[in-house]
A and B are shown apart, each in its own frame.
Chain A
Amino acid sequence: MRRTMLYLPGNNPNMLTKGHLFGSDGIILDLEDAVAMVEKDAARILVSRYLKQGEFGNVEVTVRINGIDTEFWKKDLEAVVPMKRLDGIRAPKVDSAETVKILDEEISRLEDKYGVPQGKLKLFCLLETAKGILNAYEIATASPRIAAIIPGGEDLRADLRTERSMDGTELEWARRFVVFAGRAAGVDPLDTVFSRVTDDEGLRKETEFIKQLGFAGKSIIHPNQVRIIHDVFNPTEAEIAKAQKILAAAKEAAERGQGAVTVDGKMVDMPVVKRAEYVLVRAGLA
């Protein structure tokens, strides 16, 4: 599950130590926007050490590297790829399959160099330009490493020559498109951050909206956002009970060699069964 992936500034030892305790599904040790130019080297060393020694419980651990248009990205990868506890790389400003190819080749080279199983590291692509959004499907299918695609927030707004609005109108189409591309490619569409960290109600509303669109989760920038998002994504007890009933009925029907059955007067066919299975996955029961 990737309901919540929490950004942790790569230059903040306190956050790196404690960030995994807040119950998010994943953490992102950030070497890019959270770190000032003069601290890039220090943050890279710190993150690398934390990956080597730190304990992160069961969360999915990723590192956001600097963009391939910078002088840092290769050094970033070199420092983190050998670390056992790393699950994936979050790459900023991916705007084409070509960018994926460049990243993929470098990661593969480093996996070979450090004896990391080939293909172990997943790739999470941030689509932060109009071009990136339009190429979403091509990007999502450019490598078997791709685990998720994520629309940008501020960078995308800048590229669109627009500004942040309260209801996020300017990102609406990009969000829908990323969900379609991600689902078509079989990778997770993950939403961008919600930056008003004290606006709990606003976050809840936005999360309900993006869940309805089909997103699998959200990137977050504050630990207090975890619970609100999980509340929205977690199925209710009634939903769980209904899903269990549907799956039981479907199983029974299958054992009897029947195709579709009805539960509570409604027909249960394959899409309904799949949805029920997904409910139990989200509830942590499957």
Chain B
Amino acid sequence: MTINAVKREIPDYIEGYGKVRHYEGAFARKPEGAIAGAKLRCFNSDITDKRVSSVKEAIKASGLKSGMTVSFHHHLRNGDYVVNMVLDACAEMGIKDLTLFPTALFGVHKKVIDHIKSGVVTRIMGSVNGPIGQLVSEGGMEVPVVLRSHGGRPRAVMAGDVHIDVAFIGAPTADKYGNICGTLGKSACGSLGYAFTDADYADKVVVITDNLVDFPAAPVSIPQTKADIVVEVPSIGDPAGIVSGTTKVTRDPLRLLISRYASQLIEASPYFKDGISFQTGAGGIPLAVTAFMKEAMIRKGIKGGFGLGGITGYFVELLREGLVSKLMDVQSFDLDAVKSIGENPNHIEISADWYANPWNCGAAVNMLDVVILGATEVDTDFNANVNTEADGALLHGTGGHQDTAAGAKLTIIAQPLLRGRIPCVTDSVYNVTTPGEVIDAIVTEYGVTINPRRKDLLDAVSGVKDLPIVPIDELAARARKMSGPTDPVKTTDRIIGVVEWRDGTVIDVVRQLKK
């Protein structure tokens, strides 16, 4: 056992995970060695059509066998048919013991539970939410799941921590030679940013499309040079689950209040000037913060630099109105974003590696001024938990939380003090996803709480009209008083989840719930 830099007691070896490299600090670990790559392949002019007739044929041609690692991207979100389609085929073909390495899973992938129970899938490296999370939390898998951030995942692949045997890439549009486009077709999803690493580093890449077009497909996101096999299917997803309609700013007064405080904090910070870059995401509070920031930018005559991350129609509007000059888009959330990335050269598709990987020559998050994040809970050391719920069950993936927090100059966690009766500010979070070292402020309906590490920020916000400043201990005490005592989560010693920091060190572990 070792106590790591966020005071968590972690074993030096975890069954099913291996030897632990302990977390030592947000920027402590430096890489060594060379990038781990995919197998070399050779296609000559005798192969001008990579199509096969079915998913099963594609699996067969890829050489996928029991015990291998398969990867998927999550751009089709809750409309995705690809994961279920491939795993069902694997099950029918008698392939077992697979490691599932998705960029994220959604409710639509509930069927994975059947494949876990039947032994088709024996290991998951990626987010497990909803019913899959519950199953894993109750000990439903033999080996622990490994949770990595959006930047930690490409890092793990490039460092050789994970090797992808076969990547299955759902393609809204493709041609017979494997050029892929995300912005066209009935299942258009916009950016394909999360699929790039898989296309680059998998031994075999299978392109699954429901919109086969004449060669060459254009515009190209992922080129033919990465694709081994192409298969056409009737549908790769349900458009209603892939993209939402136009995202509207919330009218919930509590969320608006929190958003206004967050916006006031940003406005008072030294970063609120021409060229400001920000990532705010698609949730209710982040979107409202963007709306308030827009008001403030117009009021003060400030023009922003770039908007980053998951892009919504609201960001597209900022781009059109000249309030940001570029959008760097790793995931397009709604129809407006999908349309814009297809048409506007200032709306740039970026890979997860480009977005957030700590081990390359500089990710986009490094250039970020401000990020607004949520969390299920934060503690008096400003550590944030996004992976587990108050009942101790794995519920959310890490997403870009760690990466943007580490990169941005101002990282804000904005959320209500309580959700129902559950306090969101505690003395010690159940699990650490992101260390307080990289979190600068918490914003609740009670005001702004600044990490004492950031005295400069505290000075900047002191005296701002109508912006209450609440010390962290006072905030935690208030949450405690309002929620009353809560029973601690009861767990066994068995580790069912490993939370990696973006550099591949283990920042925390999740233990099996006692039934």
Interface, chain A (partner B; CB < 8 A): 17-18, 21-23, 198, 222-224
Binding site for A on B (CB under 8 A): 251, 253-254, 256-257, 445-446, 466, 482
Determine if B482 and A17 form an interchain contact, defined as CB atoms under 8 angstroms apart. Answer: yes
Q: For B466, list chain A residues within 8 Å (CB).
A: 23
Q: Can you identify 18 A-B contacts, CB atoms within 8 angstroms?
A: A17-B482, A18-B254, A18-B445, A21-B257, A21-B445, A21-B446, A22-B253, A22-B257, A23-B466, A198-B251, A222-B253, A223-B253, A223-B254, A223-B256, A223-B257, A224-B251, A224-B253, A224-B256
In the bound complex, CA of A223 to CA of B482 (Å): 21
Minimum CB–CB distance from A13 to chain B (whole Å) comes to 10
A223 — which chain B residues lie within 8 A by C-beta?
253-254, 256-257
CA distance A223 to B251 in the complex (A): 10
A171 to B117, CA, bound (A): 69
Residues of A within 8 A of B446 (CB): 21
A222 to B253 alpha-carbon distance, docked (Å): 8
Closest chain B residue, CB of each to CB of A224: B253
- Distance from B397 Cβ to chain A, minimum over Cβ atoms (Å): 30
Note all chain B residues with C-beta closer than 8 A to A222.
Answer: 253
Question: Whole-angstrom distance from the CB of A83 to the nearest CB of chain B?
Answer: 19
Please, which residues of chain A bring their CB within 8 A of the CB of B257? 21-22, 223
Chain B residues with CB under 8 A of A23: 466
> Which residues in B have their C-beta under 8 angstroms from that of A198?
251
Q: How far is the CB of B110 from chain A (nearest CB, A)?
A: 32
A112 vs chain B, min Cβ distance (A): 34
The chain A residue sitting closest to B446, CB to CB, is A21
CB distance from A106 to the nearest CB of B (A): 34
CA distance A222 to B257 in the complex (A): 13
Give the shortest distance, in Å, between A135 (CB) and chain B (any CB).
Answer: 36
Which residues on the A side are within 8 Å of B256 (C-beta)?
223-224
- Nearest-neighbor residue (CB-CB) of B445 within chain A: A21
Complex contacts, A18 vs chain B, CB 8 Å: 254, 445
Give the docked Cα–Cα distance between A222 and B252 (Å).
Answer: 10
Inter-chain contacts of B254 with A (CB < 8 A):
18, 223
A226, closest chain B residue (CB): B253
- What's the least CB distance linking A220 to chain B, in Å? 11
Q: How far is the CA of A21 from the CA of B260 in the complex (A)?
A: 12
- Which residues in A have their C-beta under 8 angstroms from that of B445? 18, 21
How long is the Cα–Cα vector from A18 to B256 in the complex, in angstroms? Answer: 13
Q: Min CB distance, B350 to chain A, in Å?
A: 36
Q: Give Cα distance in the complex from A198 to B252, angstroms.
A: 11
In angstroms, Cα B446 to Cα A16, docked, is 15
Taking A21-B257, A21-B445 as given, write out 5 further A-B residue pairs in contact, using a Cβ cutoff of 8 Å, ordered by the A residue number.
A21-B446, A198-B251, A223-B256, A224-B253, A224-B256
Chain A nearest CB from B481 CB (Å) reads 9
Whole-angstrom CA separation of A159 from B254 in the bound complex:
36
Q: Please list the 4 inter-chain residue pairs (A to B) with the smallest Cβ-Cβ separation, ordered nearest first.
A: A223-B253, A21-B445, A224-B253, A22-B257
A118 to B446, CA, bound (A): 34
Write the nearest CB–CB distance from A157 to chain B, whole angstroms. 27
Nearest Cβ on chain B to A227's Cβ, whole angstroms: 8
A contact residues around B482 at 8 Å (CB): 17
Most-contacted residue by chain A among B251, B257, B466 (CB, 10 A): B257
Please name all residues of chain B whose beta carbon is closer than 8 Å to the beta carbon of A17 when the two chains form the complex.
Answer: 482
Contacts of A224 in B (CB 8 A): 251, 253, 256
Nearest CB of A to B459, in Å: 23
Q: How far is the CA of A22 from the CA of B251 in the complex (A)?
A: 13
A21–B470 alpha-carbon span in the complex (Å): 13
A118 to chain B, nearest CB (A): 34
**CB closest chain-B residue, reference A23:** B466
Cα distance, A166 to B482, chains bound together (Å): 42
Q: How far is the CA of A224 from the CA of B257 in the complex (A)?
A: 9
- A222 to B482: give the CA distance in the assembly, Å: 23
Min C-beta distance of B73 to chain A, whole Å: 39
Query: Chain A: which residue is nearest B258 at the CB level?
Result: A21
Question: When chains A and B are docked, how far (Å) is the Cα of A198 from the Cα of B249?
Answer: 13
Query: Nearest CB to that of A225 among chain B residues?
Result: B253
Closest to B256 in A: A224
Most buried by B among A21, A23, A223, A224: A21
Q: Which residue of A lies closest to B260 (CB)?
A: A227
Write out the residue numbers on chain B whose beta carbons fall within 8 Å of the beta carbon of A21.
257, 445-446
Residues of A within 8 A of B251 (CB): 198, 224
A270 to B353, CA, bound (A): 70
CB distance from B423 to the nearest CB of A (A): 13
| Complex CA distance for A269 and B251, rounded to whole angstroms | 46
* Cα–Cα, bound, A27→B253 (Å): 15
Bound complex: CA A21 to CA B466 (Å):
11
A55 to chain B, nearest CB (A): 9
**Shortest CB distance A46–B (Å):** 15
List chain B residues, Cβ under 8 A from A22: 253, 257
In the bound assembly, the distance between CA atoms of A222 and B251 in angstroms comes to: 11
Provide the bound-state CA to CA distance between A23 and B466, in Å: 8
Minimum Cβ distance to chain A for residue B267 (Å): 16
Q: Nearest Cβ distance between residue A50 and chain B, in whole angstroms?
A: 12
Return chain A residues, CB-CB under 8 Å to B253.
Answer: 22, 222-224
Question: How far, in whole Å, are A129 and B483 apart by their CA atoms in the complex?
Answer: 44
Which residue of chain A has its CB nearest to the CB of B444?
A: A21
**How far is B71's CA from A153's CA once the two chains are assembled, in angstroms?**
63
Smallest distance from the beta carbon of A52 to chain B beta carbons, Å?
A: 14
Q: Considering the chains assembled together, what is the distance between the CA atoms of A18 and B257 in angstroms?
A: 11
A224 and B482 CA atoms in complex are apart in Å by: 24
Complex: A223 Cα to B258 Cα, angstroms: 13
B483 nearest CB across to chain A (Å): 11
User: Who on chain A is nearest to B466 by CB?
Assistant: A23
Residue of A whose beta carbon sits closest to that of B253: A223
Shortest B254–chain A CB gap in Å is: 6
Provide the bound-state CA to CA distance between A92 and B446, in Å: 32
Q: How far is the CA of A259 from the CA of B355 in the complex (A)?
A: 70
Q: In whole angstroms, how far apart are the Cα atoms of A62 and B446 in the complex?
A: 22
Q: Give CA–CA (A222, B446) in the complex, Å.
A: 18
B417 smallest CB distance to A (angstroms): 9
A239 shortest CB reach to chain B, Å: 17
Chain B residue nearest in CB terms to A200? B251
User: In the bound complex, how far is the Cα of B288 from the Cα of A224, in angstroms?
Assistant: 13
A152 to chain B, nearest CB (A): 25
Nearest CB on A from B420, distance (A): 9
Distance to closest chain A CB from B451 (angstroms): 22
Closest beta carbon of chain A to B502's beta carbon, Å: 35
A223 to chain B, nearest CB (A): 4
Closest Cβ neighbor of A230 among chain B residues: B466
Q: Give the distance in Å from the alpha carbon of A23 to the alpha carbon of B253 in the complex.
A: 11
